Amino acid sequence: MAKVSIIVPVYNSEKYLEKCLESLAGQTLKELEVVLVNDGSTDSSLEIMESFSKKYSGRFVIINKENGGQASARNMGIKQSSGEYIGFVDSDDRVDIHMFEEMYNHAVVKNYDLVECHYHYVQELEDGTIKELATRGDIRQHENRRDMFINPMASPWNKLYKRSVLIDGNITFPEGLIYEDTSFFIKSIPFIRSSYYMEDKFVYYYLRGNSTMNANKSRRVGDIFEVIEDYLKFYKENNFYEEYKTEIEYFTVKILLCSSLSRIGRIEDRALEKEFRYKTFDMIDKYFKNYKKNPYFTGKIGMYIRLINRKNSKYIGKALGKIMKG
C-alpha cells in the first residue's frame, strides 16, 4: 500500500506533460504511486505516460478511459488509488520534488485528515522566462470546519486528503461541469476532523490560455448553478445542511454575487447574460432569502453584498468583468 497516491487527469497535454511527470518521478517520498488517468487523449500524451511508466517501474499507473472530462478522470483515479492519502496534480503544472514527503510527514504526525500548502502562480512568457503572479484564494490555517467555508482556496492541487475521508464520505467531483472543484471541497468539509496548513510553496500553478469569453465558454459560465445544486443536495441528503446553513449561505451568495457575476458580466450575448443574471437572483431567492442578515457579511464585502440587486447587477457585473479581464 502506497503512503500517497497522486491523481493526474490527462487530456491532450503533450506540450506540458513531460515536465509535470518529471516533477512526480523525482518525488523524495518513495512509497508513492502516480495514477495517470488518460481521458481519451488524441495527441502523444499516452506515449509520454507510457515512457515514464516504463522508465520508473512501479511509480506510475496508467488508466485509459473515454473522454469524459477532468471530474470523471479524477473520480476514476480516486477509486483506483491505494494510498493512505490522496493528492491531485494538473497535467500542465509541476510540483516541488519534496512536496508529498513533507506533506505526508506532517499529516501522519497528528493524523490530520487534510494538509494544505501554498503555491506559486506563474506565467511563462514568450521568451521562456517565468513571471510570478499574485496568488488567489485565502490560503491559511483553518480554525475549525466552519472557518473552512470562509474565503477558501477550493482547488484540490494544493491539498493532501486522507483517502478514507473521501471514500467513506463518498466525496466526488460532479461530472460534466466546470467549477467542479468548488463542490468537491465543500462536500469534504463535514468529514475533516483536523487539518494543517504549510507555508511552503510546493506547487507551480501555471496561467494558461487567455481571458477571451467565446460562445462556448460563455455557456459554461452557467455550470456554477448546477455545481451549487450538487453540494446543496449533498448537504441535505447527508443531514449536514442545518448545522452549516449560515456558512453555506455566506459561501454560496458570495460566489454568486462576486466571482460568478464577474464572469457573467463578460458575456457578450445579451440574452444569455441577462438569463444568467436573473438565474443568479432566482437561486438566491429560492435558498437564501435573508442572506443580508448573514453575520459573516461584514466590512466592505458586507456593504457590497447589501447594495447589489437585480437592477444594478448588470452594471456591477460588467464592471467586475472588466477588472477580471484586465
pLDDT of residue 322: 78
How far from the centroid of its chain's Cα atoms is residue 15's Cα? 22
User: Which CA distances in Å does 113 have to 13, 131, 165, 166, 202?
Assistant: 31, 34, 7, 10, 19
Rounded Cα distance, 72 and 65, in Å:
10
Q: Which residues pair with 26 in a beta bridge?
A: none
pLDDT of residue 216: 81
pLDDT of residue 138: 82
Model confidence at 321, in pLDDT bands (50, 70, 90)? confident
Nearest to 149 by CA among 67, 254, 57: 254
pLDDT tens digit sequence for 130-148 = 899 988 878 899 999 999 9
pLDDT of residue 294: 98
Segment 47-74 shows an average pLDDT of: 97
pLDDT of residue 309: 96
Model confidence at 1, in pLDDT bands (50, 70, 90)? confident
- Is 212's pLDDT higher than 60? no
Element (DSSP H or E) covering residue 226? helix 223-237
Segment 28-41 shows an average pLDDT of: 98
pLDDT tens digit sequence for 217-267 = 899 999 999 999 999 999 999 999 999 999 999 999 999 999 999 999 999
pLDDT of residue 280: 98
- Is 128's pLDDT higher than 90? no
Cell of 26: 523525482
pTM: 0.95
User: In this structure, what are the phi and psi dihedrals at residue 232, rounded to the nearest 5 degrees?
Assistant: -65, -40
Cell of 170: 463518498
Nearest to 162 by CA among 5, 39, 321, 324: 5
Task: Judge contact between 39 and 69, C-beta under 8 A.
Answer: yes
pLDDT of residue 167: 97
Rounded Cα distance, 185 and 166, in Å:
10
Query: Please, what CATH class does the domain formed by 4-206 belong to?
Result: alpha beta
Rounded Cα distance, 83 and 53, in Å:
18
Model confidence at 49, in pLDDT bands (50, 70, 90)? very high
To 10 degrees, the CA torsion angle through 280, 285, 288, 291?
A: 80
pLDDT of residue 324: 67
In the structure, how many helices (H) and strands (E) does the chain have? Answer: 13, 9
pLDDT of residue 141: 96
- Is 325's pLDDT higher than 70? no
Average pLDDT, whole number, for the chain?
95
Segment 284-295 shows an average pLDDT of: 97
pLDDT of residue 326: 44
Segment 160-176 shows an average pLDDT of: 97
Segment 185-199 shows an average pLDDT of: 97
| Residue spans per domain, the chain | 4-206, 215-325
Nearest to 15 by CA among 51, 41, 45, 42: 45
